[in-house]
Amino acid sequence: MSSDSVRFTVVAGNTRTAAIDGISAAGATADLRRHTPAADLEIVEFGEPLRAPVTPVSPSGCPTPAVVTRAVLERLDVEFTAVDAGLAAPTGTVTVDLDGAPGRDIRERMAVPEAATVFDSAREFGVAITADELLVGETIPGGTTTAMAVLRALGERSAVSSSLPENPLALKREVVDEALAASGLAGAEAADPVEAIRAVGDPVLAGAAGTVVGAMDAGVAVTLAGGTQLAAVAAIVRHSGVDGPLTLATTTYLAADDSADVQGLAASLDLDLLVTDPGFDRGKHPALAQYADGVAKEGVGMGGVLALARRRGVPMDRIRGRAVTLAEELQSMTKAGEH
C-alpha cells in the first residue's frame, strides 16, 4: 500500500450569512450554527466536542460529517491540522491562526474586510507544508451561499449544493443578487479573486485558497476535499493564475445533487474529479441513512478522507460502523445534557 505522507487540514470559520433563515442545515438553529465549525474541529481531533457547547446536527437530526471524517482518521496515518480562518466561537483544538475574523452577512457592502490578510497568512502556511500530499476541507455554515456569490463574482458557473435535502436555490440566488449589488459587482466581474472574497465571500474561502496556492507553489499534490465550496476555492486558485493539477474529491451524495453540477464545475475549472461512494444506504444505520437521502451530503473534508481510505484499502463497512458509534455517543451526550 501507499506510504506517501499526507496532511489533512480543515479550514474553519463563520459568516453571518448563515443566520439567514432557511439557508443552512449545518446546525439545528442559527444560534447553534455559530458553534458548528468549532465543534467540528473538536470532533475531528478528539471524537467529541470539548469547549463547544453543542454537537452539530442538522434540523432533522443528521450528524455532522465530522463524525465520518473522525471515523476515517482513526484508521489512517494522517497528520491533521485545524486552521482558524475566522471562528466566531472558541474551539478546544490547537489551530493555525490566520488572523481572520468571522465574515459579515454578504448582503453588506463588504463581507470579509480581512480577506487579503487571511489569504496571505494562509499562503505562508501552505508554502511551509512538507507532506507529499495535502487534503483541504472546510467547515462553515452558510458556505454554499458565499461560494455561489464568489463564483458569480468571478464569472464562473455558480450552481452550488446544499446541506438541506431541498436546496433553497431561489433564496440563495436572492441573497447573492443582493450581495453583488451591495458590493457594486452586479453584472461586473471582480478585479481579482481576493477582491471577490472581500466583497461577497467568507473567511474560509480566503484561508483555503491561500493554503492551496501556497502548497501548490511548494510542489505538494493538493486534493480539495469537499463539494461546491471547494470548487469555489478552486475557482479562486485558478483566477490567482495557478494552473497545475488539482483534484476535487467529494461524496456520491454531493455528486448526485443535480442542483449542484459539480461535474460541470470540475470540467470548467480543469479539475480532476474523484467521487467516493461510502455506501451509507447499505446496512441499517439510521444515523447515516439521511446522507443517502441528501441531507448534509459533504463537509469537514469527508469526501477527501473517504477517497484516501478507499485508496489505502480500509473497508468501508468498518468506517460506517465506527461513524455510527461516534454519532450515537454524541447523541447520548447531548441527551444527557453534558453540553
- Sign for the pseudo-dihedral over CA of 53, 57, 63, 66: negative
Q: Is 76 in the site for its own copies (CB under 8 A)?
A: no
Q: Is 252 in the site for its own copies (CB under 8 A)?
A: yes
Q: Is 270 in the site for its own copies (CB under 8 A)?
A: yes
Show contacts with its own copies in window 278-297 (CB under 8 A).
279
Compute CA 136 distance to the chain's CA centroid, rounded to the nearest angstrom.
Answer: 8
Stretch that binds its own copies, among 120-128, 149-157, 229-237, 271-279 (CB under 8 A): 271-279
We find the least distance from the C-beta atom of residue 261 to its own copies, in angstroms, to be: 10
Out of 274, 302, 305, 326, the residue judged to bind its own copies by CB under 8 A: 274
Residue 155's region, left for phi above 0, alpha for psi from -120 to 50, else beta, is left
Out of 131, 150, 275, 287, the residue judged to bind its own copies by CB under 8 A: 275
Closer residue to its own copies, CB minimum distance, 61 or 283: 283
CB atoms closer than 10 angstroms to residue 159: 19
Q: Is 267 in the site for its own copies (CB under 8 A)?
A: yes
Q: Is 266 in the site for its own copies (CB under 8 A)?
A: yes
Out of 276, 285, 298, 324, the residue judged to bind its own copies by CB under 8 A: 276
The residue to which cell 475531528 is assigned: 44
For 31-63, letters b (16+ CB in 10 Å) and e give ebbbbbbbbbbbbbbebbbbebebbbbbeeebb
Out of 22, 61, 245, 283, the residue judged to bind its own copies by CB under 8 A: 245
Out of 187, 241, 313, 337, the residue judged to bind its own copies by CB under 8 A: 313
We find the least distance from the C-beta atom of residue 272 to its own copies, in angstroms, to be: 5
Distance (Å, whole) CA 176 – CA 272: 28
Distance (Å, whole) CA 116 – CA 199: 11
Closer residue to its own copies, CB minimum distance, 277 or 329: 277
We find the least distance from the C-beta atom of residue 120 to its own copies, in angstroms, to be: 28
In 183-272, alpha helices (H): 193-200, 203-217, 228-239, 252-255, 262-268
Q: Is 310 in the site for its own copies (CB under 8 A)?
A: yes
Compute CA 18 distance to the chain's CA centroid, rounded to the nearest angstrom.
Answer: 14
**What is the DSSP track for 124-144?**
HHHHT--SSEEEEEEE-TTHH
Contacts with its own copies, residue ranges (CB under 8 A): 1-4, 132, 221, 245, 247, 252, 255-256, 263-264, 266-267, 270-277, 279, 307, 310, 313, 316
